[in-house]
Structure formats: structure tokens, C-alpha cells
Structure 1
Amino acid sequence: MFERILVPVDLGEPEIGARSLAVAEELAVKHDARLDVLTVVPTYSMSIVGAAFPKNFEEATLEAARSALKTMLDARPASQVTIKGHVAHGTIYDEIMKAADALGADLIVMASHRPALKDYLLGPNAARVVRHARQSVFVLRDAA
């Protein structure tokens, strides 16, 4: 049913990322699917904000994200599933959908925090992905 599963993770929330990855891995084993793990480094939305950072800050941040994602994936127990890491740069929900399309994913497995009032007005990343992605989306609700 599923051949390629995309798992977006926030490297700042390793426990939630590990949970998402475990669920996706279980689905991948069941469906003999590949896993792509994605982390997104947000972009600066205003040039005046970006100008406040050192010249090579953006590239250093992307390299740190690549390294942290590799460390996270290397720390996982051996798996029978093919897992590949990816780092994107931009608006989180948009980059998740772009990666899903580019990689040919047919399922996105992602976590969502319990919504607060502001989330009902603005919409969290998971809600935007659910509304706009071409793929099926499996949302893991945060239990807290």
C-alpha cells in the first residue's frame, strides 16, 4: 500500500521525532516501504532579520542540522528498513510538502502538538500539511 514514507522531525524535540520515526518504521516494515527523514531549517522571512546574523550563519546552521540528523539516525538500532536523511531550508510546512512530492512519498507521518487557541486561528504545520499535501498524512498527537 505504501512504498515511500516521509517523516518530518524537529531536531529540537528528539523524543517526539523518535516516536514519529518508530511509528513510521513499523508501517514501513509492514508495507516493505522506504523511509525518508526530513528536518527543515526555517528561513528568515525578512531580509533585515537575516542581515543581523554573521555572513556564513545560514550555511553553518544547515551543516549543523545535517550533522544532528545523521547523529540521530546513526543512534537508532539496526533496522531492516532503508532510512535516508534530508535537510531542507525554508517554510516548514511548504518544505515538507515539496520534499514529499520530490521524493515520491505516498505517506507522511508527522507529530502534532496539542493545539492551543492560537493554533485554531493560525494553523500549525501539521494542519497545513494535512490540508494541502497530495499524500496521505498520519498525524501523531502529542499525549501531553
Structure 2
Amino acid sequence: MYQRILVPVDLQEEDERLRNLALQNAVELCRFYNARLYVLTVVPDLGMPVVGNYFPQDVSSQIVREAENLLHEHVTSHLPQDLDIQHIVAQGTVYRRILKTARQVNADLIVIPAHRPTLTEYFIGSNTSRVVRYAGCSVLVVRSELDQNIICVR
């Protein structure tokens, strides 16, 4: 059913459990369906005209190289070696890059972690909600046991 599964990973997430939550589910799905796993991390795009002027010219490429190294290290230490895995580092807005990468790799499924929303996310939405809303493929939102006990205040 699924041949290409995309998993965005936030390498800046300090809680390793949350960082690996979607990856663990994606590994099980890849094994079950014999699917290829695309592991994506998104870094900021500093090449924007206003922001880019404050940084040295090569800082953007340094950030990408460092993210590639961190992603490879993370995948090597947390995922089994017998899977077909492609590492992807993209620059830009998180949800836009997830959606664009899903289209580029023709993903059948995006496996994305949920997290406890902050007050501002109730009003403007999170990356996860935007991916769910605009993705051209199925999206599996993986919740941690902490998120399952969210109390809604009215």
C-alpha cells in the first residue's frame, strides 16, 4: 500500500523521545510494506534579502552541511541499517518544505509527530496541522502519551 514514506525530523528537539516518535512508527510501516523511508530535516533559509545581509555568504551552506552530518548521525544511531533510507535536508519554512518534499519524492504517506500546542498555535496553527490540511497524500500524526491527555479549555 505504501511505497514511499516521508518523516520530518526536528533535530533541534531536545526530548529524544519526541524526536524519535514518528521515526519508530515509520520504521514499522516501512518494514510491513517494504517501503522506502525518506527522512527530512528543515533548516532556516538565511538567503532571504533582509536576513541574509547580516550573515557571511557561506553561512547558509555551512548550516546545510552541518544539518546533513547531524541527520546522518541521528539516522545511523537510531534506525536499523537494513532499511532503504534517503536523507534530505531542505531550507525554508518547515511545513512548506515538508509538503514540497512529499511532492518531489511522490510520498504515499507522511508520518509526523504531534506535540502539545502552545496558545499561539491554537490561533495560527502548527506545522503539523498545516501539513495535514494541505498534503496531497495520507498523513499519520503520531501522538505521545503526554499529548493524549490534553485538556481543552473553553
For normalisation by structure 1, the TM-score amounts to 0.92
Residue of 9, 29, 32 corresponding to 2:31: 29
What is the one-letter code of the residue matched to 1:109? V
Match in the other structure for 1:48: 50
Shift of 1:124: 0.6
Gaps of 5+ in 1: none
Are the counterparts in 1 of residues 21 and 144 from structure 2 also a CA contact under 8 Å?
Answer: no
Alpha-carbon distance in structure 2 between the residues aligned to 1:104 and 1:67: 25
Are the counterparts in 2 of residues 114 and 143 from structure 1 also a CA contact under 8 Å?
Answer: no
Once the two structures are superposed, what CA deviation does each residue of 1:52-78 show, in whole Å capped at 9, x if it has no partner?
112211110011001100111111353
Alpha-carbon distance in structure 1 between the residues aligned to 2:125 and 2:139: 16
Cα distance, 1:62–1:120 mapped onto 2, change above 3 Å: same
Match in the other structure for 1:126: 128
1:6 to 2:14 alignment: no
What is the correspondence of 1:1-144 to structure 2 with a 5 Å cutoff?
1-13=1-13, 15=16, 16-44=18-46, 47-144=49-146
For normalisation by structure 2, the TM-score amounts to 0.86
Alpha-carbon distance in structure 2 between the residues aligned to 1:127 and 1:45: 26
Gaps of 5+ in 2: 147-154
Alpha-carbon distance in structure 1 between the residues aligned to 2:46 and 2:79: 35
Are the counterparts in 1 of residues 46 and 60 from structure 2 also a CA contact under 8 Å?
Answer: no
3-state DSSP of counterpart to 1:86? strand
Are the counterparts in 2 of residues 6 and 109 from structure 1 also a CA contact under 8 Å?
Answer: yes
RMSD: 1.7
What is the one-letter code of the residue matched to 1:57? V
Count matched residues. Answer: 144
Alpha-carbon distance in structure 2 between the residues aligned to 1:55 and 1:46: 12
Are the counterparts in 1 of residues 111 and 141 from structure 2 also a CA contact under 8 Å?
Answer: yes
Cα distance, 1:77–1:49 mapped onto 2, change above 3 Å: closer
Are the counterparts in 2 of residues 29 and 80 from structure 1 also a CA contact under 8 Å?
Answer: no
What is the one-letter code of the residue matched to 1:39? T
The sequence identity of aligned pairs, in percent, is 42
3-state DSSP of counterpart to 2:2? coil
Are the counterparts in 2 of residues 5 and 28 from structure 1 also a CA contact under 8 Å?
Answer: yes
3-state DSSP of counterpart to 1:75? helix
